[in-house]
Amino acid sequence: MSEAPGPHGEAWRPSATREALRQRAELVERTRRFFADRGVLEVDTPVLQGGANLDSGVLPFRLELPGGPRFLPTSPEHPLKRLLAAGSGDVWTLAPAFRSQELGRLHSPEFRMLEWYRLGWDDTRLLDEVVALFASLTGAPAQLEVLSWREAFRRHAGIDPHSVDDQTLARVIGDDAAIVAGDRRAALDLVQVARVEPHLGIGRWTALVDYPAEASAQARLRTGEDGLQVAARFEVYRDGIELANGYHELTDAAELASRLEAELRSRSGGELHDQRFAEAMRAGLPDCAGVAVGFDRLVMLALRLPSVALTRAFAWERQ
């Protein structure tokens, strides 16, 4: 009963107009030139991975193949980091990525991820490059607001996420508090999507930085301004929409292995560790910063379209 988004017509027809496809191709071309000018190597990455990406809240598709299960990448992070560990130098890719159960105006189970890594850089330096690329692709000036995760909650939801008590948190959430009762991380996530994110990136680019240590994913930790341990991680928003997630990458293989092990234990979807990725991390990831960008969202923003479906030749409902 759900209506396929896109121009009206039979479901075999494309979701995007020809003009949208032409402009998308131009954005891909400009992205390619951006990295070529900066000496970053374009690479292709495999789509059938031996092991699963293990990012909190991100579910991979598992495929049963002769010879054992394979996993569709939720981002091209693993093969890109293996290349870095092998001495590739700076690399980028525009690769298909897959996330089970993510579907909406800003989500599709299949999408394109733009991801790149810069050797010897930290997250701050990479953030500037991200905004430079976004400005050049969308035509919006590279004006950037940098806001700590904590400050964003204080300013837009009126609470300090580190110290707020459960009652106050429930009051801020309102009617929906019951669905996140007893799960503080989920409660803060709900405040973030409902109360904080809509205010980010209005009329400029906003970067959220200094994420709490629990949300460090594969970023290294550092001591933040207020003495708390924070993740060297940023996300970039425009018009309330999250576009990019970047890290000063964690290179400590033992610490990374323990984070991935904890994530795997919390799951029941039949995920397996990506052993070759783990071996590469043990061999040594060089000091680097990396970022992943939802490319369809970037196209949506540049073309002023209302959904990612309209940026793709064939959106999920018409695949």
Partner 1 sequence: MPAINIGEVSKGTKLIFDNAPWLVLEVNYVKPGKGNAFYKMRVQNLLTRYTLEKTLRGGEKVEGADVTDTEMQYMYFDGSGYVFMDKTSFEQLTIPAKAVGDDKDFLLENMDVWVTLWNSEPISLRLPNTVTMEVDYTEPAVKGDTQSRVMKPAKLKGTGATVPVPIFVAIGDKITVNTQTREYSGRVLK
Provide the binding-site residues for partner 1, judged by CB under 8 A: 1-3, 55-58, 100-107, 175-176, 179-180, 183, 185-186, 189-190, 192-194, 197, 215, 217, 235, 242, 245
Token code pair at residue 98: 């897959």
Looking at the Cβ atoms of 11 and 186, the one nearer to partner 1 is 186
Looking at the Cβ atoms of 1 and 65, the one nearer to partner 1 is 1
Q: Which residues of 54-83 are buried (b: 16+ CB within 10 A; e: fewer)?
A: bbeebbbbbeeeeeebbbbbbbbbbbbbbb
Closest alpha carbon to 296 in 133, 107, 36? 107
Looking at the Cβ atoms of 44 and 183, the one nearer to partner 1 is 183
Question: Bridge partners of 234?
Answer: 209, 246
Looking at the Cβ atoms of 90 and 205, the one nearer to partner 1 is 205
What span, in angstroms and rounded, lies between the C-alpha atoms of 118 and 129?
A: 10
In angstroms, give the least distance from the CB of 177 to partner 1.
Answer: 10
How many degrees, rounded to 5, is the angle at CA 248 between CA 222 and CA 36?
A: 160
Looking at the Cβ atoms of 90 and 196, the one nearer to partner 1 is 196
Looking at the Cβ atoms of 90 and 220, the one nearer to partner 1 is 220
In angstroms, give the least distance from the CB of 56 to partner 1.
Answer: 5
Q: How far is CA 131 from CA 30, 127, 146, 169, in A?
A: 15, 6, 11, 33
In angstroms, give the least distance from the CB of 10 to partner 1.
Answer: 19
Backbone angles phi, psi at 289, to 5 degrees: -120, 145
Q: Is 69 helix (H, G, I), strand (E, B) or coil?
A: strand
In angstroms, give the least distance from the CB of 202 to partner 1.
Answer: 17
In angstroms, give the least distance from the CB of 25 to partner 1.
Answer: 27
